[in-house]
Structure 1
Amino acid sequence: MTTNPFFSPSPLPYELPPFAEIRDEHYLPAFERGLAEQLEEVAAVSGSQEPPTFENTIVALERSGAVLRRVRNVFFNQSSADTNPVVQELEAQLNPRLAAHSDAIHLDAGLFARVASLHDDRAELGLDAESLRLLERYHTMFLRAGAQLSPEDQQRLRELNAELATAATSFQQNIFDDTRDAALVLDGPEELAGLSEDAISAAAENGRARGHDGKYVISLKNFSNQTELASLDNREVRERLLERSLGRGAKGNGKLAARMATLRAERAALLGYDSHAAYVVADQTALTTDAVTGMLHRLVPPAVAMAEREAAALAAVSDTGPIQAWDWAYRSQQVRKERYAFDAAVMRPYFEADRVLHDGVFFAASQVYGLRFTERTDLVGYHPDVRVFEVSEEDGTPLGLYLADLFARGSKRGGAWMNALVGQSGLLGTRPVVVNNLNIAKPAPGEPALLTFAEVNTLFHEFGHALHGLFSDVRYPFFAGTAVPRDFVEYPSQVNEMWALRPEVLANYAKHHETGEPLPAELIERMAEADAFGQGFRTVEYLGAALLDWAWHTIGAGSDPGDAQAFEAEALKAAGIAVPAIPPRYRSTYFSHVFSNGYSAGYYSYIWSEVLDADTVDWFEENGGMRRANGDTFRRELLSKGGSVDSLTTYRNFRGRDPKIEPLLVRRGLLPA
């Protein structure tokens, strides 16, 4: 195949992948060529007779794999955002091959010898700070990949990595299939009583799109407590919806989760660690399992106590006996209406998706960072729903491309995320192309897409990741954008959430989609008051998932987790977070973050990063809030650095000190203001 669009750099602006030309049949030949070419490039470095230099070894490795990089970025974005049976089959084939490819590079004795030699002599090489850090990170990467193991242990490591890659793919595809199949099909609108008119219309459109003409379909989000549970009046429908959500993955993913946890524990022991969690956090900002365990367990008692107070308030408005899991969100809405005269559904007409994007998310970025956004209708994305925007500096200097893919569809996995299609690199001369994916219910043709405030907040959050990619200003692709520790990467995105309720931003985008009337200020005040009621639920829900992840990944080599449901129940009980009416945000059988998406022993990162986030929000407020000078400082000292500087060092350079946990505790109501 000589016309494969991945074989050469894209001629489009910013090297945007030529999606109009890309077909499923292009992927495998591009992977085949990309894998082979990189191995040839690596072999040339490893087998070179020239003495190792930073340029002929480390920089050469950074330049290698161009075809593989191009096809990999596009393929795995499609496998998440617009998959199909061909892509799924390819993914199952490719993931173990990619794991083996990584092992072939990192377990190459000759290559490691060159890297180790340079590392030993690093003080005499005269490298600038970013180059020195790159050398140190390469050395660490090789060590953590098993470069110093015996040949026998390396062979076992290859086997473990291959099986884990296959299992992770199966886990994710099982969730995708189960989530699609578990969508709740309802016969008539009366069963949807309590939902807003536009939500009912969207359920009808979803039914039509899924081949259930005349019926109403509620598709499941990736988390446990579905958002519709807060509004559905019919208790039996709520129970059915939650049961479908909690039952996902039960047929096969329980055994897969237990097997993966066992394999990860064995691999960690092989590499010299007590557990997979110990292996993971040694290369994160947390550094030790004790640090993570201490923080999580510090939060459990006050969170559970707060949830118990909330449960008592819910019981007072219940006419059906003890509060069940499918009642909690619904009864919480009742309490908010009675105590705070607040109904979240009333806000939806003020949050039209396009206006939120342009007049909210983009507006905030223009005020804080001076960015400008121009829609490029001449450039196409990988799906008709995808919109492409050119991003430039205030003076018109080009920065990169931003792709927005906001709507749910049957070919997209649940959740919300950011991907880089092209990473920024001074070495390679590339500028960033990033994409945000959300799962907003697509309205019927001609109808507006109205968001909940949670979805508004998610859009601001994911755009924070996009900014991290867009602002990247590094030389080496290894460090580009969000290439930072897992327990740091959520921090910039969480900071960006602060602008969603900033008065000058809110006034710009929160307008009634029919009348143009602004969102009443008193409604915002009532929402803030009502939001405080529910912090116990949200914190317990999150901690349940984080501690489940931690339990699976702190087992030692040789341990047998046994039945996944029994393991899960015992783990929650042991952590003091077993609250029957509050299911963990993710149960083990559909916890894709940790069993297929790279967050194993890392789900703690969200609240770990929130410590930095809350402290940073305080910094913005102390320095005048939405000021360009503040945005410029945050961008210069932190967002632009990617992984080129130690993450906590960038934080200290920005904040002037180490982070404090107190602002987070106050935010979550776990400490008096």
Structure 2
Amino acid sequence: MSDNPFFAPSTLAYEIPPFAEIREEHYLPAFERGMADQLAETAAIAADPAPATFDNTVVALERSGALLRRVNLVFMNQDGSDTTPGVQELDAEISPRLAAHEDAIHLDAALFARISALYEARDTLGLDAESLRLLERYHTRFVRAGARLSAEDQQRLREINAQLAADSAAFRRNVHTDTLARALVVDTAEELDGLSPDAVAAAAENGRALGHDGAYVLSLKNFSNQSELAQLTDRSLRARLLDASLNRAVDTNGPLAIRMARLRAERAALLGHPSHAAHVVADETAGSVEAVSAMLARLVPPAVANAEREAARLAEAAAADGVTDLAAHDWAFYSEQVRKTAYDLDTSALRPYFELERVLHDGVFHAAGLAYGLSFAERPELTAYHPDARVFEVFEEDGSPLGLFVADFHARESKRGGAWMNELVSQSALLGQRPVVVNNLNIARPAPGERALLTWDEVRTLFHEFGHALHGLFSDVRYPLFSGTAVPRDFVEFPSQVNEMWMTRPEVLANYARHHETGEPLPAELVERMAAAENFGQGFRTVEYLAAALLDWAWHTVPAGREIADALEFEAAALAEAGLAVPAIPPRYRTTYFNHVFSSEYSAGYYAYIWSEVLDADTVEWFGSAGRPVRESGEVFRRELLARGGSRDALDCFRAVVGRDPEIAPLLARRGLA
């Protein structure tokens, strides 16, 4: 296929992939040639008769696999953002082959011998700090991938990795399929009483798009507690909606979760660790299972106590409606009623002040200008991978170009749930590449001619994901291995969580929170009530999150050889043991649709959100301290942390910003757990 657009670097601005030319049939030939090319490149490195040097071994490895890197970044983005049956079939086929390809490199004895020789002599090589770290990371990667195992154990490792890759692809395919299948179809608008008019119109538009003309469709978000539960007055409809959410992929993904946990435990044992969690955390900032377990255990009792206090207030509100058995599908609804009465706040009435385009330009982009001097210009002539996705060029304060930002905000049938950031081109001075990053959200598409109005949580998500985008855009490293968000998993959420602070900073909120019809600013007293109401509900949010984090932890601290008979029984027992069996608060993700840990890189790592929030809460306090101008603080945060990627120890980056080790007190205060 000589015309395959992946076979040569893109000639477009910033090497953005030539999406107008890319077709599904281009992927498989590009993957196959890309793997073959890289294996030939690494074989040449291993067979080089010259003694190993940093350049002919480590730098050569960094240069290898250019074609495979190009196609893989584009394919992964499409699989999440705009999948098709053909893409899903290829994902199922290619995932185990990619795992085998990685094993072929990491388990190459001759290649590891060259890396080991350099590693042993590292103090004599005269390497600069980033190059020395690159050598150390390569050595660690090969060891953690099994380079020191016997031939017999390496063969078993290859088998495990291939099966896990196949199971991971099947898991996410099952979640996507069942999430679509369980969308709630409602016949009349009256049944949606409580939803705002724009939300009802969006449900009608969703019904039309999904082939249910005349009906209203509530598509499921990736998490358990669906956002509509806070407004729907029909209790039975709330129960149906939550039931559809909680029971996704039970039959298909329950057995897969059991097998994946067993295989991960077996692999960890081969590599000398008592559990998969121990293997994962050994290479994260947490460092040990004990450190993570201690932090999570410390948070559970005050979080549950906080939630119980909230439940008592909700029970009073429910009793006024004659509801004496407060259930999980009631929690969000009566939380909203309490906010209305206790704080005089109707969160649905806030939506007209949060119009998507205004939040993006006058909020997210404006904050990036205040803190970092950035400006943005849309580039409509640059074609993205879907008509919904828009391309913006990002400029430094002096007008020089920085990179491209692709914004893909609306939900559609071909997109998986949730919100995330991808890279299409990773920054690297070695390869002469500047960053191209994508943000994906799942905001309901408005009716034709209407504007997209956001919930407060969706505003937070927009700022959060742009924090990941900044991490990629600001990357200023030499080597691809360190680019952008290539940092420990329990550190990667930290910059994105810090970026959430701008949504409530007065100088930013006042700039974007304006009524989409009148232009009136969000009233100051409403801002104050929002802040007070934000504290109510922290018990629910913390318990919901901790239940998911400890569920992940339970699955991945299982030792090798332990048999699990039923996934949901294991889940129930794990939550009870953790002190989080709160029937009215289901985990943010249940086992069978927990894509973070069974189909992405967060296995034994979902604790990362709260671990990173310790750093985040501490940094937000630092941003507002010592009377520094925001622009000055932004430059420090960018230079010492965001620009560094993985080229320096993560906690050293934090210390370079804040000037000390992190402290947990700001997090406890923020979460109402002090």
| TM-score relative to the length of structure 1 | 0.99
Once residues 512 and 604 of structure 1 are traced to their aligned partners in structure 2, the CA distance between those partners, rounded to angstroms, is: 37
Give, in angstroms, the shift of residue 625 of structure 1. Answer: 6.8
Once residues 84 and 406 of structure 2 are traced to their aligned partners in structure 1, the CA distance between those partners, rounded to angstroms, is: 21
Q: Which residue of 1 aligns with 2:600?
A: 597
Determine whether 1:556 maps to 2:559.
Answer: yes
Once residues 486 and 331 of structure 1 are traced to their aligned partners in structure 2, the CA distance between those partners, rounded to angstroms, is: 35
Once residues 304 and 314 of structure 1 are traced to their aligned partners in structure 2, the CA distance between those partners, rounded to angstroms, is: 15
Q: Which residue of 1 aligns with 2:534?
A: 531
Q: Which residue of 2 aligns with 1:366?
A: 369
Q: Which residues of 2 match residues 492-571 of structure 1 at below 5 A?
A: 492-571=495-574
Determine whether 1:327 maps to 2:336.
Answer: no
Give, in angstroms, the shift of residue 107 of structure 1. Answer: 0.1
SS of equivalent residue, structure 1 residue 7: coil
Once residues 283 and 609 of structure 1 are traced to their aligned partners in structure 2, the CA distance between those partners, rounded to angstroms, is: 15
Determine whether 1:96 maps to 2:96.
Answer: yes
Once residues 484 and 344 of structure 2 are traced to their aligned partners in structure 1, the CA distance between those partners, rounded to angstroms, is: 43
Q: Which residue of 1 aligns with 2:273?
A: 273
SS of equivalent residue, structure 2 residue 251: coil
Q: Deviations over 1:348-392 (max 9, x none)?
A: 000000111000000000010000100001101100000100001
Q: Contact 1:193 / 1:232 at 8 angstroms: preserved in 2? A: yes
SS of equivalent residue, structure 1 residue 236: helix
Q: Which residue of 1 aligns with 2:577?
A: 574
- The amino acid that maps onto 2:324 is G
- The amino acid that maps onto 1:433 is V
Give, in angstroms, the shift of residue 561 of structure 1. Answer: 2.0
Once residues 181 and 624 of structure 1 are traced to their aligned partners in structure 2, the CA distance between those partners, rounded to angstroms, is: 54
Once residues 170 and 27 of structure 2 are traced to their aligned partners in structure 1, the CA distance between those partners, rounded to angstroms, is: 20
SS of equivalent residue, structure 1 residue 316: helix
Determine whether 1:386 maps to 2:371.
Answer: no
Give, in angstroms, the shift of residue 124 of structure 1. Answer: 0.6
Q: Contact 1:623 / 1:630 at 8 angstroms: preserved in 2? A: no
Q: Which residue of 2 aligns with 1:67?
A: 67
Q: Which residues of 2 match residues 377-456 of structure 1 at below 5 A?
A: 377-456=380-459
Determine whether 1:121 maps to 2:121.
Answer: yes
- The amino acid that maps onto 1:400 is G
Q: Deviations over 1:25-82 (max 9, x none)?
A: 1101100110000000000001111100000000000000010000000000000000
Give, in angstroms, the shift of residue 531 of structure 1. Answer: 1.3
Unaligned runs of 5+ in 1: none
SS of equivalent residue, structure 1 residue 173: helix
SS of equivalent residue, structure 1 residue 622: coil
Once residues 651 and 334 of structure 1 are traced to their aligned partners in structure 2, the CA distance between those partners, rounded to angstroms, is: 41
Once residues 444 and 67 of structure 1 are traced to their aligned partners in structure 2, the CA distance between those partners, rounded to angstroms, is: 41
Give, in angstroms, the shift of residue 623 of structure 1. Answer: 3.4
Give, in angstroms, the shift of residue 184 of structure 1. Answer: 0.1
Q: Which residue of 2 aligns with 1:375?
A: 378
More divergent stretch after superposition (626-635 vs 303-312): 626-635
Q: Which residue of 1 aligns with 2:657?
A: 654
Select 1:353's aligned residue among 339, 350, 356: 356
- The amino acid that maps onto 1:105 is I
Once residues 406 and 563 of structure 2 are traced to their aligned partners in structure 1, the CA distance between those partners, rounded to angstroms, is: 44
Once residues 256 and 666 of structure 1 are traced to their aligned partners in structure 2, the CA distance between those partners, rounded to angstroms, is: 39
1:330–1:626 distance in 2 versus 1, CA, 3 Å: farther
SS of equivalent residue, structure 2 residue 178: helix
Give, in angstroms, the shift of residue 560 of structure 1. Answer: 1.1
Q: How many pairs were matched up?
A: 671
Q: Deviations over 1:139-186 (max 9, x none)?
A: 000000000000000000000000000000000000000000000000
SS of equivalent residue, structure 1 residue 252: helix
Q: Contact 1:612 / 1:659 at 8 angstroms: preserved in 2? A: yes
Determine whether 1:588 maps to 2:591.
Answer: yes
Q: Which residues of 2 match residues 457-476 of structure 1 at below 5 A?
A: 457-476=460-479
1:614–1:478 distance in 2 versus 1, CA, 3 Å: same
Once residues 18 and 628 of structure 1 are traced to their aligned partners in structure 2, the CA distance between those partners, rounded to angstroms, is: 36
Unaligned runs of 5+ in 2: none
Once residues 244 and 219 of structure 1 are traced to their aligned partners in structure 2, the CA distance between those partners, rounded to angstroms, is: 10
Give, in angstroms, the shift of residue 444 of structure 1. Answer: 1.3
Give, in angstroms, the shift of residue 322 of structure 1. Answer: 1.8
Give the superposed CA RMSD.
0.6
Q: Contact 1:248 / 1:589 at 8 angstroms: preserved in 2? A: yes
Once residues 434 and 398 of structure 2 are traced to their aligned partners in structure 1, the CA distance between those partners, rounded to angstroms, is: 17
Give, in angstroms, the shift of residue 653 of structure 1. Answer: 1.1
Q: Deviations over 1:270-329 (max 9, x none)?
A: 000000000000000000000000000000000000000111101101121121000000
Once residues 506 and 45 of structure 1 are traced to their aligned partners in structure 2, the CA distance between those partners, rounded to angstroms, is: 54
Q: Contact 1:224 / 1:586 at 8 angstroms: preserved in 2? A: yes
Q: Which residue of 2 aligns with 1:58?
A: 58
1:340–1:374 distance in 2 versus 1, CA, 3 Å: same
| TM-score relative to the length of structure 2 | 0.99
Q: Which residue of 2 aligns with 1:620?
A: 623
1:231–1:626 distance in 2 versus 1, CA, 3 Å: farther
1:624–1:496 distance in 2 versus 1, CA, 3 Å: farther
Identity across the alignment (%) = 69
- The amino acid that maps onto 1:634 is F
- The amino acid that maps onto 2:250 is A
Once residues 629 and 307 of structure 2 are traced to their aligned partners in structure 1, the CA distance between those partners, rounded to angstroms, is: 34
Give, in angstroms, the shift of residue 95 of structure 1. Answer: 0.2
Q: Contact 1:367 / 1:626 at 8 angstroms: preserved in 2? A: no
Q: Deviations over 1:530-554 (max 9, x none)?
A: 1111000000000000000000000
